[in-house]
Amino acid sequence: SQTIHQWPATLVQPVGSPLSLECTVEGTSNPNLYWYRQAAGRGLQLLFYSVGIGQISSEVPQNLSASRPQDRQFILSSKKLLLSDSGFYLCACSGQGNQPQHFGDGTRLSIL
């Protein structure tokens, strides 16, 4: 079964600073990859998804970007963080067909 690694677990950044969150997947190949943001422990907002290397779809126009430089690596970035970027960021992956998404343990990002 697949394992999703996310780091760091927590991050405190000043407004205007850059961001790079990394997600790597083990135990599967050619996964679909997803970045979500969860605010206040409630609903999940899909930010980006990728069905292959270099293929990124953005769901919400915002201050963030994503890249997939390798099959099992998904990176979330920002050039300049805003206060509104605070939240709990979750990476997920799924196989093809009717497979469920599996989630990493997330990164809690606080912007000061």
Should residue 59 be labelled a site residue for other proteins when binding is judged by CB under 8 A? yes
- What gap in Å lies between CA 21 and CA 29, rounded to an integer? 21
Q: Is 61 in the site for other proteins (CB under 8 A)?
A: no
Site string for other proteins, 3-42 (x = CB under 8 A): -x-x-------------------------x--------xx
Least distance (Å) between residue 80 CB and other proteins: 27
Nearer CB in complex with other proteins: 16/107: 107
The string of DSSP letters for 4-45 reads EEEE-SEEEE-TT--EEEEEEEES-SS-EEEEEEESTTS-EE
90 forms part of the interface with other proteins (CB under 8 A) = yes
3-class state of residue 95 by DSSP: coil
